[in-house]
Structure 1
């Protein structure tokens, strides 16, 4: 149990840290170009915190813990990327299908970011906890 708790903390820290950078420098500029009027100012911290807490728990349940059991960080990277693609893809494709102002550029940027972010966060967590950077 202690190992799972440490895995959660490491994965959450990596995910949050990278996402703060990614949102600021990669995602937000694209969203500002296309849907600036829809962006909350200030950011609603409560819903964001709920997302981070639950999403990272899902990453652990579906990706990181199975990869840790077999000591395979690369499995966490690939599984995390698949999960990130599915989750961020659901958000982006739903918005593109239903919101007139949504653009393919938003879809591409956020989908790529979520895919890489989830995979790298899962990989770093498993690699650090297992001691295997592969």
Structure 2
């Protein structure tokens, strides 16, 4: 149990700053230009819940298999990220008036 708690915290400490760096600096101008009129105030509770659940998913699908090789863990981790972000992006593209294909491609491809 302690191993999973350490893995959970370590993953959270890596993922959150990377995502904030990407969204806040690297792609901020792009997202503002593409979907700026849809952007609102950040809702903290759903954002926190997303990261807590996302990291749990990483641990379940990537870190849990004890017989997994490093290569398979990297592959499953990349696939998990792709599936998670593609699900969000494709749903947004389906439902939101101003969501664009370039936003989908950029946000899905970096994971």
TM-score by length of 2: 0.89
Q: Distance in 1 between matches of 2:6 and 2:93?
A: 37
Question: Kindly tell me: are residues 71 and 63 of structure 1, through their superposed partners in 2, closer, same or farther at Cα, counting changes over 3 Å?
Answer: closer
The aligned length equals 111
1:31-110 matches, cutoff 5 A: 31-41=31-41, 43-66=42-65, 69-70=66-67, 72-110=69-107
Coordinate RMSD, CA, aligned: 1.5
- Residue in 2 that maps onto 1:27: 27
Q: Distance in 1 between matches of 2:80 and 2:17?
A: 19
Deviations 1:7-56 (A, max 9, x none): 11111110011111011123332221121121123x22111101001110
Q: Distance in 1 between matches of 2:102 and 2:57?
A: 27
Question: Kindly tell me: are residues 17 and 27 of structure 1, through their superposed partners in 2, closer, same or farther at Cα, counting changes over 3 Å?
Answer: same
Query: Secondary structure at 1:94's aligned position in 2?
Result: helix
Deviation at 1:72? 3.1
Q: Distance in 1 between matches of 2:74 and 2:19?
A: 16
Runs of 5+ in structure 2 lacking a partner?
none
Query: Secondary structure at 2:40's aligned position in 1?
Result: coil
CA contact (8 A) 1:30 1:105 kept: no
